[in-house]
Amino acid sequence: MVLFSASSEQALVENAKRFVASLPELEKEMDLYTFAANMSARWTHHRVRTSFYASTFAELKEQMETFIKSSDEGKADDEIAKVTLKSATSDPDVPSEGTTLQPTVVMVFPGQGSQWAGCGKELYKTEKVFKDVVDVIDAEWMKLAGCKLSEVAFDPEAGDKLKEVVWAQPVTFMLQVGLLELLKTWGVHPNAVVGHSAGEQLPRTRLELTLSKKPPSLYTTVHVFKTNCLAPSVCWYS
């Protein structure tokens, strides 16, 4: 997913036109994954936004040209989102359209019961970051249990099996780590995280790593999870 934003709809369309013209050169300098990561994490996010979902630069160019055409014809309203952001200079309870201060993000990690047969399968097929996370956790789980969590999670016939604690809780953790790492590449970072039941593991794990001054990487997150038992946790990110 490639994110675009601007201070107005006209500026958004103009930005899209400029990027379409520069895509041939950009493609020589970086791959689409790097380009998308730069757009989400390094660019300032303004209140007027749109996004494009593509797996190649050719697909991205086609989608952007379609968006530009729709905008010129006045038919792009459904493709543009207008976000109300907090004011950086006035009352924090009063929304402002002219600021780029990011809103507060709170992530809630649910416990057992949020899983279903086939959960995560499509993300594994389409999102490289999510796939990499699942592969790392699968490798660790193989050492413990001699099988892969993804084989159970992605199985459309495994509904009854996923109701069992031995599968439900580690599968939930795997999916949550994958989603968290994926959202990070899109520039979405939590100011606070809270977990319930099995969902407490990820916030607790990240907090332990933060307090120990260790970078909360995927590998250290999985290691700490393996050695933890459940405990209530609410963690605030600085």
**CATH number of the domain bearing residue 205:** 3.40.366.10
For position 51, what pLDDT does the model report? 84
- Which pLDDT does position 229 carry in this prediction? 39
The reply to whether 143 and 47 lie within a common domain is no
**Separation of CA 135 from chain center:** 17
Q: Is residue 101 part of a domain?
A: no
Structural domains in the chain (count): 2
Report pLDDT for 193.
79
* Residue-by-residue pLDDT tens, the chain, 238 positions: 788 888 888 888 888 898 888 888 888 888 888 888 878 777 777 778 888 888 888 898 898 888 888 888 777 666 676 655 554 444 444 444 444 455 678 888 888 778 888 888 999 999 988 998 899 888 888 887 788 889 888 988 888 888 887 788 888 888 888 888 888 888 788 877 788 777 777 666 655 444 444 444 444 445 545 444 333 333 333 3
Confidence (pLDDT) at 224: 47
19 and 70 in a single domain? The answer is yes
Three-state secondary structure along 85-111? EECCCCCCCCEECCCCCCCCCEEEECC
- 93 falls within a domain: no
Q: Are strands 192-195 and 95-96 parallel, antiparallel or unpaired?
A: unpaired
**Quick check: is 227 in a domain?**
yes
Per the CB < 8 A criterion, the answer to whether 94 and 87 are in contact is yes
Write down the pLDDT at residue 235: 35
> Using CA atoms, how far apart are residues 74 and 82, in angstroms rounded to an integer?
16
CATH number of the domain encompassing residue 61: 3.30.70.3290
Is there a single domain that holds both residue 226 and residue 143?
Answer: yes
Among 34, 60, 87, which residue terminates a domain?
Answer: 87
Structural domain includes residue 99: no
Final residue belonging to a domain, choices 87, 117, 146: 87
Other CB atoms within a 10 A radius of the CB of residue 108 amount to: 12
Domain match, 113 and 169 both:
yes
Q: What is the pTM of this model?
A: 0.54
Residue 125: what pLDDT? Answer: 92
Give the C-alpha distances (Å, rounded to integers) separating 47 from 85, 98, 120: 7, 8, 30
Whether residue 97 is contained in a domain is answered as no
* Residue ending a domain, choose from 59, 87, 115: 87
Range of the domain at 38: 2-87
> Which residue type sits at 112?
Q
Shared domain for 155 and 187, answered yes or no, is: yes
